[in-house]
């Protein structure tokens, strides 16, 4: 009897699908208290067929959503929670990942790819001003339009599907909503303004697809999803009734936000000037700029933050993106083998408490904001015989903080109003040393909510607040108080500035690093070298060889 009363007291529930770069999760929240009741997570495989290319399997992504739903429903049943109280489902997703599928078969020929020569192609066009006027995103492989154009040019099945009017394009949110609302049997083909604004095909002023941009990329507008607000009913779930999650059938999907916008909502940054930073595979710092877009002069992106209802105004944000944050932990684990788990990184770094003059620029896929330099390469400098893996671990954590500092500086310059504290979320925020380092390097407090699932929470809030659902109030006076932990700076600003300046020198070296593409020296001979003096390469190679032998010997002694 007590268990039955407990179910009644829970009130309406709202679920969220959180489909990220490396994993998928399904989470269920109490709409009245924002309490996370249960969730399940499934890892996603990635393949890297070439440098700068990433591929994921859309069918695997969809299957991971089904699995997460099934397991979460089982957990809720075990907790004696009535699943029928779930009133809405929100979707939040990795953003620029690009998919094309056949609307008649549901098949997905080709996967997400990056094309490395886009920068050269884009800067040669006379129409480059179109991007600044209509969609102020740098012409870069980071965004969806370039990947879509590549698929159309290089995958025969995609080209044929486009020519025969069977093709559908979308980011991950569009793919999931289409599949979950029926797929080839009447699935809804839509996206929201936050995801659309990351494609380079969207006009952030009119809040619709831009004919000029579509013409520029020669992309037929008929394959694009319908653009909707971030909070409205898009369609109803259609799940096999034989599954435990089958009881989710008929529930409206009513919230959709790109992952970083969802985190902004989940952190309740509804006031102009508020900012959050999400520490995931990469880092994404968004600052709410209100109802008018602010055009950056310091390498940031102007994006749509959210539009919480069909009749509600859009809110804009400045965004700075760091390519490598949590991914550096995976690199240290998988590529170098100096740690076995992410928690070891914090212990290693804490054991020395300094990088001992070692600086790490993890530009594995170039540098994003504020540089937008795809040819940059990772670099580790300041090594001595004393340097060990603990110092390298500390330098890796510092690198995440330094990259965030660069973006925050750019935002302060663009807005003219310095940020006084930074709200943070994401998987890496469980690393307390990282959070303290971030406060030290920014010289402002860092505030971490006690409930870290702010991305999924934002999607749930948008879904629950949608017209026709209305189980979650977004009025400031109705929002639940969020408990948090604050990290105050513990070093003096002079030391912070010194360390930051040294790291910036390392960034310049990473920016000037030449690729090893063969080039002609003008005498019919081919060389991998460019304008950097030969002596530099010889000296660098010798130092790298000596360093590699030393590190290998040290690792063997350490049992790694």
Domain boundary among 487, 510, 533: 510
Per-residue pLDDT tens for 103-113?
888 888 755 44
Q: Are 140 and 373 in contact (CB under 8 A)?
A: no
pLDDT value of position 498: 93
Exposure string of 248-287, with b = 16+ CB inside 10 Å and e = fewer, is beebbbbbbbbbbbbbbbbbbbbebebbbbbbbbbbbbbb
> What is the pLDDT of the chain when averaged over all its residues?
82
Centre a 10 Å sphere on the Cβ of residue 552 and count the other Cβ atoms it contains: 11
Same-domain check for residues 203 and 63: yes
The answer to whether residue 4 is domain-embedded is no
Give the Cα separation of 46 and 37 in Å (integer): 29
Q: Which position has the higher pLDDT, 524 or 47? A: 47
Q: Looking at 47-61, 91-105, 402-416, which range is the least confident one?
A: 47-61
Same domain, 262 and 326: no
Domain of residue 72: give its range. Answer: 13-110+133-266
Which token pair is 83? 């699943």
The number of distinct structural domains making up the chain is: 2
Burial of 446 (0-12, 13-18, 19+ CB in 10 A): buried
Question: Which residue from 165, 58, 178, 171 is spatially nearest to 108, judged by alpha carbons?
Answer: 58
Lowest pLDDT segment from 46-50, 342-346, 423-427 = 46-50
pLDDT at 533: 35
Residues 379 and 476 in one domain: yes
Give kind and range of the element (H or E) at residue 399: helix 389-415
- Which pLDDT does position 115 carry in this prediction? 38
Tell me: pLDDT of 559 over 60: no
Whether 246 is covered by a domain: the verdict is yes
357 and 262 housed in the same domain: no
The answer to whether residue 373 sits within a structural domain is yes
Distances (CA, A) of 522 to 32, 391, 526, 530, 538: 71, 44, 9, 12, 22
User: Mean pLDDT over residues 177-206, rounded?
Assistant: 93
pLDDT score at 99:
83
**Is the confidence at residue 326, as pLDDT, over 80?**
yes
Residue 244 sits in the same domain as residue 330: no
Is 276 domain-assigned? Answer: no
pLDDT of res. 235: 95
| Alpha-helix residue ranges (DSSP H) falling in 218-320 | 259-266
What is the number of alpha carbons within 13 Å of residue 10 lying toward its C-beta? 26
Lowest mean pLDDT among 12-26, 125-139, 306-320: 125-139
pLDDT for residue 4? 44
Q: Secondary structure of 303-351 in the HEC alphabet?
A: EEEECCCCCCCCEEEEEEEECCCHHHHHHHHHHHCCCCCHHHHHHHHHH
What per-residue confidence (pLDDT) applies to 345? 92
Domain endpoint, select from 203, 233, 266: 266
Q: Which two tokens stand for residue 349?
A: 């770094």
User: pLDDT tens for residues 75-134?
Assistant: 999 999 988 999 999 999 988 788 888 888 888 875 544 433 333 333 333 343 444 444
Residue 286, in any domain of the structure? no
In a domain, 302, yes or no: no
Same domain, 261 and 334: no
Please check whether residues 395 and 482 belong to one and the same domain. yes
Highest mean pLDDT among 160-164, 209-213, 365-369, 480-484: 209-213
Question: What does the DSSP 8-state code read for residue 47?
Answer: B
pLDDT of residue 535: 33
CA pair distance 469, 89, nearest whole angstrom? 10
Does residue 465 contact residue 283 with C-beta atoms inside 8 Å?
no
Query: 35 in a domain, yes or no?
Result: yes
Tell me the pLDDT band of 49, cut-offs 50, 70 and 90.
Answer: confident
Same domain, 257 and 353: no
pLDDT at 514: 60
Question: Higher pLDDT residue, 22 or 38?
Answer: 38
Task: Please report the pLDDT score of residue 126 as a whole number.
Answer: 34
What's the pLDDT at 455? 92
- Cα angle 439, 442, 448 (rounded to 5 degrees) comes to 40
Peptide bond into 201 cis (omega under 30): no
Pairwise pLDDT comparison (523 vs 208), residue with the higher score: 208
User: Residue 308 and residue 192: Cα distance in Å, rounded?
Assistant: 10
Of 510, 528, 543, which residue constitutes the final position of a domain? Answer: 510
**pLDDT confidence tier of residue 63, bands split at 50, 70 and 90:** very high
Model pLDDT, residue 52? 65
Per-residue confidence at 461, pLDDT binned at 50, 70, 90? very high
In Å, how far are 134, 354, 385, 436 from 348, measured between CA atoms? 47, 11, 18, 15
What are the distances in angstroms from CA 22 to CA 19, 41, 53, 263, 370?
8, 10, 15, 17, 25
Nearest to 345 by CA among 448, 425, 430: 430
Q: Supply the pLDDT for residue 253.
A: 97
Q: Which residue has the tokens 């006084």?
A: 420
Over residues 153-173, the mean pLDDT reads 88
Position 202 pLDDT exceeds 80: yes
Q: How far is CA 225 from CA 168, 220, 228, 267, 447, in A?
A: 8, 11, 9, 28, 37
Distance of CA 157 to the CA centre of its chain: 29
pLDDT of residue 136: 46
Same domain, 463 and 353: yes
The answer on 389 and 259 residing in a single domain is no
Say if residue 235 is in the same domain as residue 343.
Answer: no
Task: Please check the confidence at residue 2 and state whether its pLDDT lies above 50.
Answer: no
Examine the pLDDT at 291 and tell me if it is beyond 70.
Answer: yes
pLDDT over threshold 60, residue 537: no
Q: Do 29 and 149 lie in a common domain?
A: yes
Residue 541 tokens, joined: 């190679």
pLDDT of residue 139: 54
CATH classification of the domain holding 149: 3.30.420.40
In a domain, 115, yes or no: no
- Given a cut of 50, whether residue 223 has pLDDT beyond it is yes
pLDDT of residue 243: 62
Nearest to 21 by CA among 49, 50, 46: 46
For the record, the structure tokens of 436 come out as 């303290």
Region 402-422: mean pLDDT is 92
> Taking the chain, what is the end-to-end CA distance rounded to the nearest angstrom?
56
137 vs 122: which has the higher pLDDT? 137
């Amino acid at each position: 009897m007590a268990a039955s009363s407990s179910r009644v007291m829970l009130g309406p529930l709202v679920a969220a699908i959180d489909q990220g770069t490396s994993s998928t999760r399904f989470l269920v929240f109490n709409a009245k208290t924002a309490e996370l009741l249960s969730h399940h997570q499934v890892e996603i495989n990635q393949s890297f067929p070439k440098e700068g290319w990433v591929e994921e399997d859309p069918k695997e992504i969809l299957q991971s959503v089904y699995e997460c739903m099934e397991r979460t429903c089982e957990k809720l049943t075990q907790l004696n929670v009535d699943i029928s109280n779930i009133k809405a489902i929100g979707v939040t997703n990795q953003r620029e990942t690009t998919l094309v599928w056949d609307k008649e078969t549901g098949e997905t020929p080709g996967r997400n790819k990056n094309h490395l020569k886009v920068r050269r192609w884009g800067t040669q066009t006379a129409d480059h001003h179109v991007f600044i006027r209509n969609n102020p995103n740098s012409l870069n492989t980071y965004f969806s339009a370039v990947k879509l154009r590549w698929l159309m040019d290089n995958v025969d099945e995609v080209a044929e599907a486009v020519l025969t009017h069977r093709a559908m394009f979308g980011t991950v949110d569009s793919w999931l909503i289409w599949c979950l609302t029926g797929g080839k049997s009447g699935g809804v083909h839509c996206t929201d303004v936050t995801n659309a604004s990351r494609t380079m095909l969207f006009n952030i002023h009119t809040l619709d697809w831009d004919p000029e941009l579509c013409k520029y990329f020669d992309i037929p507008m008929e394959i694009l999803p319908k653009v909707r607000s971030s909070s409205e009913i898009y369609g109803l779930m259609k799940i096999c009734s034989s599954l435990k999650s089958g009881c989710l059938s008929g529930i409206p999907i009513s919230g959709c936000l790109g992952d970083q916008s969802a985190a902004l909502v989940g952190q309740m940054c509804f006031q102009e000037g508020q900012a959050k930073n999400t520490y995931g595979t990469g880092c994404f710092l968004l600052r709410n700029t209100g109802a008018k877009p602010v055009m950056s002069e310091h390498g940031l992106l102007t994006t749509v933050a959210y539009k919480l209802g069909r009749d509600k105004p859009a809110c804009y944000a400045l965004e700075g993106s760091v390519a490598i944050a949590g991914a550096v932990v995976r690199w240290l684990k998988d590529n170098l083998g100096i740690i076995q788990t992410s928690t070891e990184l914090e212990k290693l770094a804490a054991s020395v408490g300094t990088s001992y003059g070692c600086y790490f620029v993890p530009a594995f896929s170039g540098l994003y904001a504020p540089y937008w330099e795809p040819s940059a390469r990772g670099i580790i400098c300041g090594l001595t015989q004393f340097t060990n893996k603990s110092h390298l671990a500390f330098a890796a954590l510092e690198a995440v903080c330094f990259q965030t500092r660069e973006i925050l500086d750019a935002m302060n310059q663009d807005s003219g109003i310095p940020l006084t504290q930074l709200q943070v979320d994401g998987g890496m925020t469980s690393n307390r040393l990282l959070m303290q380092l971030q406060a030290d390097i920014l010289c402002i407090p860092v505030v971490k909510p006690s409930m870290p699932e702010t991305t999924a929470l934002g999607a749930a809030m948008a879904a629950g607040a949608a017209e026709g659902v209305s189980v979650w109030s977004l009025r400031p006076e109705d929002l639940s108080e969020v408990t948090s932990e604050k990290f105050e700076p513990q070093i003096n600003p002079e030391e912070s500035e010194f360390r930051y300046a040294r790291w910036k020198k390392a960034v310049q070296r990473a920016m000037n690093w030449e690729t090893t593409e063969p080039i002609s020296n003008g005498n019919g001979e081919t060389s991998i070298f460019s304008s950097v003096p030969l002596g530099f390469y010889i000296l660098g190679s010798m130092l790298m060889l000596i360093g590699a032998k030393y590190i290998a010997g040290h690792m063997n002694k350490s049992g790694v």
